[in-house]
Structure 1
Amino acid sequence: ESPNDHINSHSINNSINVISDDDVAMEDVIDADDSAAKHEQIIVKWICQRCTLVNSEHSDRCDVCSSPR
């Protein structure tokens, strides 16, 4: 019997899955108490080509290495 055999929806509060692209990240949030409820929210971000940090849409330069967008 594996440890995963005892995991059920009551032992998981929330599950978050983030899928990133160069300029857009899609975030799917599934509430374990209501697995039928699924909410999608588009979050605009950009990935620095130099250091790969995911920056907010409002930044013209990378927050870590200051490379231009």
Structure 2
Amino acid sequence: MKRTYREEDAIPGYTSRIPRKGKILLANVFVDGMLQAPELYRTAQGELHFLSDQPPPAESRIIAQFIVIRP
């Protein structure tokens, strides 16, 4: 089990970018298809960190969607 996931942890063949927090307008994080409450995670450029007592189990499918602000 891990708490912090980085862009390099993505499934090979997928392009993943986790924007820095100030650029994110809206974030949705799903673990095995279940939407996670924003209080359970935080983002930093290139990282997704889970804050809950129980991080996602090994082999979980994690999907993070971001809507970002572009100048």
Pick the TM interval, shorter chain. under 0.3
Query: Of the two, which has the highest radius of gyration?
Result: 1
What TM-score comes out, normalization by structure 2 length? 0.22
Q: Which has the higher contact order (CA 8 A, sep 6+)?
A: 2
What TM-score comes out, normalization by structure 1 length? 0.23
